[in-house]
Chains A and B, each alone.
Chain A
């Protein structure tokens, strides 16, 4: 079995930063990703609040540069699906579809995936008008009417992005004001292509073969109305990717992993960073910070536990 000092599960901003710090400390580092690099950040068109980029940076470009930086210091990448975490005394084993790997420390950076809305029609029309990635699919809706569900940063930012393609973007939010950051809100509220359906929830997504219309319900009056749209983009929060841990690591009631200030989980030698962790603010900058702290502490842990040089 191949051995590493540190294995990082996930290659979003948190995982890549941990890989950078770990590899730069001359620790033998492997990071494993089943999809593409960048995690959730990579599906974001423009990141305006990552310091050092006064004119913003695209998610893909930031992720690619983070990966290049980690690789430059010798972090190794494995494209595989992580299936299980096993304990082997003081060592940890990460089981993947491409074999098992042993490490002194495992850092969980498996992130979170978009949550489903849970209304009738959502699954039927998935990839037939229902999408969870505006940057992937916006171009299919050139000149169309589309709808975005949600009121947080992701929903409002992606709604703004969609106005570059669609004729009209209706933002549906269950409250009467947005949760998104002020600057993002103001931009959306001033955008002539944006419309807002306040106090509204989706009752059903309808169509023949593809999405044709959405039935909305006003939560204050109970009144229903139909809006004709060709696309529905859903941004109603995240679901942590913690199923594969099979309950071996403590999680909170929403499935996120609680840690201490040093990113330690309840199991020694196992850390959790980024979106998968119980935290207040899930951003690229906080994910990167988590990664640095975990890698730094992991090195100290190895020195004391394994007499690591």
Chain B
């Protein structure tokens, strides 16, 4: 199983903004059940898209400022980055199908 890179305000620019690969950022929190439900799906996708998309996650309980700075105020939220810019976002009720749709667009 491919791991997800844990992001904080200290490594965000380096891991996301300066990444040569497109990046998925999963904003989650330990109290957010839909987020926990998505975690195995994301880990599976991280394996499937290894080498094509970099998978990262932000624990918003520990990095609230970073999340708010990135305009994330509601969970679950996924942001998709290309060339350091947000090109797509998923928010609220979504599942594997919607995530893969965005991933395909990201590498297409």
Measured CB to CB, the residues of A under 8 A from B are 34-38, 42-43, 45, 59-60, 63, 79, 81, 97, 113, 126-133, 135-140, 142, 209-210, 231
Contact = CB atoms under 8 A, between A and B. Distances in A.
A35 B95 contact: yes
A140 B33 contact: no
Nearest to A140: B73
Q: Shortest 7 CB-CB distances between A and B: which pairs? A: A36-B37, A127-B74, A42-B33, A136-B32, A136-B75, A34-B95, A60-B33
Scoring B35, B74, B97 by chain A CB atoms within 10 A of each residue's CB, the highest score goes to: B74
B41 A139 contact: no
A167 B74 CA distance: 19
A136 B76 contact: yes
Interface of B: 29, 31-38, 41, 60-61, 64, 67-68, 71-77, 91-93, 95-97
B93 A113 contact: yes
A16 to B, nearest CB: 13
B33 A63 contact: yes
Contacts of A60: 31, 33, 36
Contacts of A34: 95, 97
Contacts of B29: 136, 139
A194 to B, nearest CB: 21
A133 B34 CA distance: 10
A140 B96 contact: no
A35 B75 contact: no
Contacts of A142: 64
A42 B76 CA distance: 14
Contacts of B36: 36, 60
Given A140-B64, A140-B67, A127 B37 contact: no
B61 A139 contact: yes
B31 A35 contact: no
Contacts of A113: 93
Given A35-B95, A81-B95, A135-B32, A140 B74 contact: yes
Given A36-B36, A79-B41, A135-B33, A128 B93 contact: no
A97 B97 CA distance: 8
11 contacts: A35-B34, A36-B34, A37-B37, A38-B33, A126-B92, A131-B74, A135-B33, A137-B74, A139-B64, A209-B71, A231-B73
Contacts of A42: 33-34, 37
